[in-house]
């Protein structure tokens, strides 16, 4: 009897882990919506240090030839598809949602522009053959906002 309970508990935990998927990246970007971003970053007013205080360290920073530094932020979430649990299914699918934010700052440390976007795609992993990405499409403004509300 005790072994059956332990086995059932193990199966429940394993199923939960399989169904939840995973997310990586900056949680501040995960929670951003177009409206929140408009309040967080005001072009030609917000400074680079204010961006760093509000969003944390970027994933990486680059410098353009004109001397502007670009802060790169991203967040990605992947979840298994229900199709993955069909017996003898030859292809595993993982719907992926990704948000990215790039912020350009001049030499004085003032934000000159920013770009916030998101994409949704399905990553397919066949049993035989190469991995492939299909069904790429940009997230709409409403989806960016809804995702921030759902995840937050």
Tens digit of each residue's pLDDT (9 = 90 or more) over 21-67: 677 777 888 888 888 899 999 999 999 999 999 999 999 999 999 99
User: Is the pLDDT at 86 greater than 90, yes or no?
Assistant: no
Q: What is the structure's pLDDT at 135?
A: 62
**Cβ-contact 96, 77 below 8 angstroms:** yes
Contacts of residue 84, defined as CB under 8 A and 6 or more positions apart, other chains included, come to 92, 93
Smallest CA-to-CA distance from 104 within 66, 72, 70 is with 70
Instruction: Kindly state whether residue 79 falls inside one of the protein's structural domains.
Output: yes
Q: Give me the pLDDT at residue 31, please.
A: 84
Residue 16 confidence class, pLDDT cut points 50, 70, 90: very low
| DSSP codes of every residue in 12-42 | HHHHHHHHH-EEEE-HHHHT--HHHHHHH--
- Does 2 reside within a domain? no
Whether 7 maps to a domain, the answer reads no
- The domain in which residue 129 lies consists of 23-151
- Between the two ends of the chain, the Cα-to-Cα distance in Å is 41
Is residue 146 situated within a structural domain? yes
């Amino acid at each position: 009897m005790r072994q059956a309970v332990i086995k059932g508990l193990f199966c429940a935990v394993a199923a939960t882990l399989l169904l939840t998927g995973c997310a990586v990246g900056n949680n501040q970007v995960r929670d951003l919506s177009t409206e929140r971003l408009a309040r967080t970053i005001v072009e030609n007013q917000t400074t680079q240090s204010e961006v760093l205080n509000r969003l944390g360290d970027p994933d990486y920073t680059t410098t353009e030839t004109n001397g502007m530094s670009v802060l790169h932020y991203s967040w990605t979430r992947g979840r298994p598809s229900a199709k993955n649990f069909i017996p003898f299914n030859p292809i595993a699918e993982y719907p992926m949602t990704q948000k990215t934010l790039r912020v350009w700052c001049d030499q004085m440390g003032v934000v000159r522009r920013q770009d916030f976007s998101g994409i949704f795609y399905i990553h397919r992993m066949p049993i035989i053959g190469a991995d492939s990405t299909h069904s790429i499409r940009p997230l709409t403004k409403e989806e960016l906002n809804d995702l921030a509300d759902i995840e937050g």
